[in-house]
Structure 1
Amino acid sequence: MNSLDLNQLRTFVDVIELGSFSAAAEHRGISQPAVSAQVRQLERRLGVRLIERSGRRAQATAAGQELLVHAQRIAQEVASTLETLLPHREGTHGRIRLGTGATACIHLLPPLLKRLKQRMPGLEITVRAGNTQEMLKQLESNSLDLALVTLPAAGRSLEVIELYQDEMVAVLPLSEAGGLEALDAARFHRQPLILYESAGHTRHLVDRWFAAAGESPKPSMELGSVEAIKRLVGAGLGWAILPRLALPPEGRDAEIEGLPLSPPLMRSLGLVMRRDKRSSRALYETVEALLSLRTC
């Protein structure tokens, strides 16, 4: 009982997940008697029956169901361990799951990820977009490795590094921006407002900016897409407050213009990861790439 055979555990999991000894044998590339022998050896070692037949299908006993949970977790840990060692053998491969907001995904990450892929051609990068709370939940459940999100972000198991200061600006139809400079909250009072959906951190920042001036915004539209808000503003359907990051470098295009807010409003983007995250070259290189964004 001081040790378990990983091959026996893998065989047991295959039998349960595939539903039969023959399917497990085909999957593992060994004979069916060999599969049966491995399961019997595991049962003898543990002193319990693990598998029973229901018709033609092999099913876990109550003890087998308990073992299955731990065996699957062990398999994940073994795979993670081998992945951690892979860069030390080959130096160019790995996998990173990165979460971020849609604006950063579109306007900030592409050149950074391009440079990262040039350094590690075999790096597999999966990017998921969502709001800060969604990203933090996925970090805590370990379904993401890193997140670049609007701060604040808090969690006992999380490490947060502030990276990037992004100015929030008023976004107007180009035809309505002539002669205007910095806009205070009162200038928005009679305008139809098109704002972020209320669940996100960026919207909370905007609401607090209005509240500090004694205003309570009543948006005519709330959307989760910055690009959709820009198009609606360009069509003359309202004014918005968006990150300058979402605008062209000169702050304007053929349909909209970005103007400063008075008083200024900034949002902070930060890198968030689990404190106990196992290090790998893929993780190290991705963190270093994101740290290059640091402006604060």
Structure 2
Amino acid sequence: MDFEQLKTFLHVCRLKSFSRAAEKLGVTQPAISAQIRSLEKEVGARLFDRDGGKVTFTAAGRLFEPFAEHCLQCHSHIVVAVNELYRSARGEVSVSASEATSLYILPPVFAEYKKQYTRVNLSIVRAEHLRSIEMVVNREVDFAIVSTPLKDPRLTVQCIHRDEIVLTVSPAHPLATRSTIKVDEMLQFPMLLLKQGRQRTLLNNFLESFDAQPRVAMEVDSSELLKRLIAAGLGMGFLPRANVDDDVRGGLLKVVKVEGMRISRELALIFRKDRTLTHAAHAFLEIATNSTEQLYPALRTAKAAL
């Protein structure tokens, strides 16, 4: 049973004629008859009595008519709803990102998006790098924001944010009064590091280029925890500038420049190449990729410094 058969059935009902229904639908009368026979076979009962040119309902046909009407109305509502979904921003957009990205990068993007598209429900799933990629690949979320580089032929990768990794200390740290230090000075103090990830890899490469062996006081698996430990005076550490700008302005942390150190990180918005984006998803993509710097002034400053 399909919608064309139901449409044919209802035209025959209203016009009480196979020939007039064929003319109305722009098909041949044999085609109308074939559709009705197929429908009757599936229903398991005759729907019309034909006496010469006169067409009347059988009891089964009269019973079937309101159900056919309801099915076509549902079909119409489905088509309108789906078309509306792609014409205007409504529905839901889901994004996966790490804890730090959720705290420091996404809020201004989400705020601008909700200001423009109030009828869209935004949801964020906090997950680390590999899990975020997996969720996009498995179609569990629309987008993810992850560190680059990332090469996966299934994914579209669009950079949305770039800033530097900076040495961060508490205001009470011996280096807090210094604006710039040398690498060998830095190595005299305990260091807090992330256990793994792109940021740790970049830092390892930098230290290896100086043949430097840091005094590792602790390794943690969260950049937010790392920041809190630095503020508590347990050691110094490296964090993205966007993560610490508010704390530096508030006097809770200090940033110290290390001579010869130029480490930057990039975050990209990723989504499946074969995913059909709704109007709401297209709108989020546009805001996230084109407006990040305008929405978050600190990013402009960081980018200019690179």
Task: Tell me which of 148, 152, 155 is aligned to 1:155.
Answer: 152
Greater helix share, 1 or 2? 2
Three-state SS of the structure 1 residue aligned to 2:159 is strand
Over the aligned positions, Cα root-mean-square deviation in angstroms equals 2.8
Identity percentage of aligned residues: 20
Amino acid at match of 2:96: G
Cα distance, 1:242 vs structure 2 = 0.3
Partner of 1:213: 210
| Counterparts of 1:163 and 1:216, CA distance in 2 | 33
CA shift digits 1:117-138 (9 cap, x unpaired): 1211121111122322221111
Partner of 2:283: 285
Partner of 1:244: 241
Contact 2:169 2:176 (C-alpha < 8 Å) held by counterparts: no
Q: Which has the larger radius of gyration?
A: 2
| Counterparts of 1:218 and 1:211, CA distance in 2 | 14
Amino acid at match of 2:286: E
| Counterparts of 2:285 and 2:98, CA distance in 1 | 17
In structure 2, the gaps of 5 or more residues are 4-41, 44-77, 294-299
Distance 1:137 1:266, change over 3 A: same
Amino acid at match of 2:164: E
1:1-296 equivalent positions in 2, closer than 5 A: 85-88=83-86, 91-176=88-173, 177-198=175-196, 200-217=197-214, 219-249=216-246, 251-262=248-259, 263-291=261-289, 292-293=291-292
In structure 1, the gaps of 5 or more residues are 6-40, 43-79
Cα distance, 1:216 vs structure 2 = 4.0
TM-score (norm 2): 0.64
Three-state SS of the structure 2 residue aligned to 1:160 is strand
Which consecutive aligned stretches of 4+ in structure 1 deviate over 4 angstroms post-superposition? 80-84
Amino acid at match of 1:128: V
Three-state SS of the structure 2 residue aligned to 1:270 is strand
Aligned residues: 220
Contact 1:207 1:217 (C-alpha < 8 Å) held by counterparts: no
Contact 2:188 2:215 (C-alpha < 8 Å) held by counterparts: no
Three-state SS of the structure 1 residue aligned to 2:216 is coil
